[in-house]
Amino acid sequence: LYDRVSKAETMDEVSDYMASGTPVLNLLNTRYVILDGKYPPLGNYAAAGNAWLVDGIRRAATPDQELSLLASADLGSEAVVGADFSVPEPAAPEDGSIVLETYSPNELVYNYDAPEGAVAVFSEIYYPGWTATLEDGRSVPLFRADWTLRGAVLPGGEHRLTLRFAPSSYRSGVALSRASSALLLILLLAAAGLFVYNTKRI
């Protein structure tokens, strides 16, 4: 990246290279690239955005094929999916849209409109433990897209979609932490009560 950009003579050449030569940065929605102190931050106008709808699925039978398809697929309109996930062929999303509304480390909320239903890809790393639900409580299946990103199969209509990180280990840890805090509070209250009782006896 540094060699190509440093040899560019115009910003148009830089933009063209960022659009075609840095697909991973684009999929991860990298909006700026800092090379070193000699250059100002480079704006990446080819960044894919927080989420997008795709109109095609490229299916891979093996991990090697999945990686190979990444080089030939149009990742702005197609999603590469491995054999360990079952994803239906999406409807064309010409009239659909998806927008990130709120963001926090453990929860992301999107509003989307997909009249025929859709397949969405998120500029987020796929990791077990994330769940996706609609505003009415319905669960939405997640899958791994483009080798490393998070994808979802969306039902049709206008909906509010919430992605939340809540693995069973996290819930167990929270429950254990609360139980420990409650036990500590009880012990402190008991110690304080015993201290007051002994003071009054004296």
Q: Does residue 121 sit in helix, strand or coil? A: strand
Q: Above 70 in pLDDT, residue 175?
A: no
Number of CB atoms found within 10 A of residue 5's CB: 17
Q: Above 90 in pLDDT, residue 52?
A: yes
Predicted pLDDT at 1: 54
Predicted pLDDT at 123: 96
Predicted pLDDT at 10: 64
What's the mean per-residue pLDDT of the chain?
A: 85
Confidence of residue 143 (pLDDT cuts 50, 70, 90): very high
Write the CB contacts of 199 (distance below 8 Å, at least 6 apart in sequence). none
Confidence of residue 7 (pLDDT cuts 50, 70, 90): low
8 A C-beta contact, residue 96 and residue 115? yes
Predicted pLDDT at 167: 83
Predicted pLDDT at 65: 96
Of residues 179 and 107, the one with the higher pLDDT is 107
Predicted pLDDT at 115: 86
Mean pLDDT in residue range 42-56: 89
Number of CB atoms found within 10 A of residue 43's CB: 14
Rg (CA), the chain: 24
In angstroms, the CA 135 to CA 112 distance is 12
